[in-house]
Structure 1
Amino acid sequence: MSLETNLNLVKETMHQASIQSSQLKETTLIAVTKTVSGEVVEELIALGVKHLGENRPEKLIEKQDALVNYQDLTWHLIGTLQTRKIKDVINRIDYFHALDRLKTAQEIQKRATKEIKCFVQVNVSQEPTKQGIDLAEVEMFIRSLESYNAIKVIGLMTMAPNGASSKEISNYFKQLALKQKEIAALHLPYAPCEELSMGMSGDYELAIAQGATFVRVGSRLFDL
């Protein structure tokens, strides 16, 4: 199948999933481009995709350098960011999807020359192998970020565990959506928390049905 065919299929399944959701906001598709070349990404951009995501700082910089002629792209760093690499990448991105440590926030505050839109990463399933804070700790962690004016907590992010059933995955996403609404209801100026980053190639429809406003899709687009 072609890239255009895959993109159209993803868009259609996103639309069908949104019908099941009470979410009024449109869900943004982030194309996770870690497995493909700059030339393939250029083809995707030509098809209208402007939100691009990378897991690793080095790959994000590499992609940006390859796509230097495109000025209207939105860049998402969706993977864990080591403290020592923050200075290299933080001013190159628009969104950071994996804030879960105060040490990371401190280094962002030190290095950022603009406001960074951040998602707090939550380990809803409490998997020991996954990054993220517990649901019970979300409010306390977000309140600890009040003095960091380089950080705006725009939402929460999670990843479903591998091997979980559709019912289990939906339940994890629902729990995050409830927590997001709790935080939004606090009306914290530095943490409006109106967004939900959840859902990848294998489960983005389930995520959208539970209110995801950003989904991170790679293989469903690029398995040609």
Structure 2
Amino acid sequence: MDTALADRLAAVDERIRDAARAAHRDPAEVTRIVVTKFHPASLVTDLHALGVRHVGENRQQELTAKRAELTGIRDLTWHFIGQAQTNKARAVRASADAVHSVDRARIADALDAAGADGILDVLLQVNLTDDPGRGGVAPAGVEELAAHVAGLPSLRLRGVMAVAPLDEEPARAFERLRRSADDARRVVPDAGWISAGMTGDFPEAIAMGATHLRIGSAITGPRPPRD
């Protein structure tokens, strides 16, 4: 077993506990998703041996390949956190247990149409920048999109997700996301997930109510070189 990996995981988990307690929250309320982008499936196996049960992927091809390679591990929850595309909705739906990046009705419809049976957990990705070209629904459109998703039979709206802009204090951005979470809950009262916080800003996300953190390099180490 990679002792460095175990040490990094333990260090991050300690920081999560400290941040939760500082925010007067129960650390058990916070789910840590380890993002394994560009790392081999063997790293997921090592993480599982260390107790990790939630992993995230940004790219559909990696999600599909890793899940297929690791069919023997049945108690992992696979989160798709990358930009969703309608032409890949069927492949994402086949491999993901939760999709964090629903930002328009069209992708919601495609994910719903791809589900022959079962229910897929989804979150609304919210754009916290002033750039309409960035991924995510505008905060003003959250309630409308939430209502659309709520009407699709094979999707279950769980909450909201966002990435903090690089040019803004993370706490301010996550405070806006919390307001979007309130908007989503006005439509679906039990949509309580807030997916926010990465390696550089997860303490601020926890302070603003994040329930799911997406942490990569602080746990996995540097990404391996790509061919």
TM norm. shorter chain > 0.5: yes
| Equivalent residue number for residue 204 of structure 2 | 206
| Equivalent residue number for residue 42 of structure 1 | 45
Question: Does 2:73 match 1:70?
Answer: yes
- The Cα offsets for residues 130-180 of structure 1, whole Å up to 9 and x where unpaired, read as 20011111112212233201111110000011243xxx2101101111221
CA shift for structure 1 position 127: 3.2
Give the letter for the 1:14 counterpart.
I
2:44 & 2:22 partners in 1: Cα distance?
A: 30
Please state whether the residue corresponding to 1:2 is helix, strand or coil. Answer: helix
Equivalent in 142, 145, 151 of residue 138 of structure 1: 142
Give the letter for the 1:3 counterpart.
L
TM-score by length of 2: 0.90
1:44 & 1:116 partners in 2: Cα distance?
A: 24
| Equivalent residue number for residue 219 of structure 1 | 217
Retained in 2: the 8 A contact 1:126–1:134?
no
| Equivalent residue number for residue 119 of structure 1 | 123
Equivalent in 17, 40, 49 of residue 19 of structure 2: 17
Equivalent in 183, 189, 194 of residue 192 of structure 2: 194
Matched residue count? 218
- The Cα offsets for residues 75-110 of structure 1, whole Å up to 9 and x where unpaired, read as 000011211111122032111000011111111121
- The Cα offsets for residues 6-43 of structure 1, whole Å up to 9 and x where unpaired, read as 00110011011101325456110101011211122211
Please state whether the residue corresponding to 1:119 is helix, strand or coil. Answer: strand
1:183 & 1:61 partners in 2: Cα distance?
A: 29
2:182 & 2:123 partners in 1: Cα distance?
A: 14
| Equivalent residue number for residue 225 of structure 2 | none
CA shift for structure 1 position 117: 0.6
- The Cα offsets for residues 49-82 of structure 1, whole Å up to 9 and x where unpaired, read as 0101001110001111221210111000001121
1:71 & 1:3 partners in 2: Cα distance?
A: 22
CA gap of 1:142–1:23, structure 2 versus 1, over 3 A, is: farther
Retained in 1: the 8 A contact 2:5–2:219?
yes
Retained in 2: the 8 A contact 1:109–1:148?
yes
2:63 & 2:148 partners in 1: Cα distance?
A: 29
Question: Structure 1 vs Structure 2: percent identity of aligned residues?
Answer: 32
| Equivalent residue number for residue 58 of structure 2 | 55
CA shift for structure 1 position 213: 0.3
1:192 & 1:152 partners in 2: Cα distance?
A: 10
2:104 & 2:176 partners in 1: Cα distance?
A: 21
Give the letter for the 2:80 counterpart.
L
Equivalent in 1, 4, 8 of residue 2 of structure 1: 4
Give the letter for the 1:133 counterpart.
V
Q: Structure 1: 5+ residue runs without aligned partners?
A: none
Give the letter for the 2:18 counterpart.
Q
1:30 & 1:81 partners in 2: Cα distance?
A: 18
- The Cα offsets for residues 107-130 of structure 1, whole Å up to 9 and x where unpaired, read as 112111221111100012233452
1:49 & 1:91 partners in 2: Cα distance?
A: 22
